[in-house]
Amino acid sequence: MSVTFGDVFADLQKRLGKDPTATMSEPLPAQYALALSDGVRVGWQAAFWPRVMQIEERTPELTEAGYRVIAWQQAGLTEIEAVELERCLYERDPRAHTGAAPLRHVFTTPEGIIVPDYTTAERLYARFRPPAPEYTEEDTDEEFPAFLRRYAVLQAASELLDDDQARYRTKAAAESELERLIGVEFDLAGEDRGAIK
């Protein structure tokens, strides 16, 4: 099921007791969009969600210090936001080779992922989480991560509500929704919940 940012924006308006068909005065649309982007980012970074993890072939670069590194940002490739150290680098594509084992003794630095000395492979496969999507009020037709829809709305509403008690209850509901999502996601994927960041 495809979900757009406009759909989620309307959900937030309803959650806040606003009419989604009414015209909003500035700066509310920008505040709502920022709150939803923050909600997506917090949810996105809460776990190494199997559905958002990407695998790309990367070429390590030699640093001045003499070690090989896969930079967080490489021209023309998806930015790497975060990795699970135990499952981030492979000599063979783990999508094509189910028995492909991740490299051991992997470390990260501000430059990127340090490639272990024992491998001489010129190209490696990096498994990583890309950055969370960000939205503005003009992005109504942009795709939204459907699995985070309810959480992002609750999280954003908890930041925008005026009443302290309502804000607290909504924040608790958001946290409960995130825990539920993590349980469902990792149970369905058959993944270890150690993948929770």
CB 76 within 8 A of CB 57: no
- Complete edge-to-edge strand list for the sheet that includes strand 107-109: 61-62, 68-71, 112-114, 107-109
56 pairs with which residues across the strands?
126
Q: How far is CA 58 from the centre of its chain?
A: 20
Q: Percentage of the chain surpassing pLDDT 90?
A: 82
More confident residue, 15 or 23: 15
Nearest to 65 by CA among 115, 103, 105: 115
Looking only at the bridges linking them, the beta strands covering 68-71 and 112-114 are: antiparallel
What is the identity of the amino acid at 155? Q
pLDDT in tens, 51-68: 999 999 999 999 998 999
Return phi, psi of residue 107, to 5°.
-130, 165
The tokens describing 178, both together, are 């995130």
Query: What is the H or E stretch that residue 169 is in?
Result: helix 164-189
Q: Does the pLDDT of residue 194 top 60, yes or no?
A: no
State residue 187's pLDDT score. 75
What 3-state class would DSSP assign to 32? Answer: helix
Q: Does the pLDDT of residue 190 top 70, yes or no?
A: no
- How far is Cα 87 from Cα 146, in angstroms, rounded to an integer? 25
More confident residue, 194 or 49: 49
pTM: 0.86
- How far is Cα 70 from Cα 94, in angstroms, rounded to an integer? 18
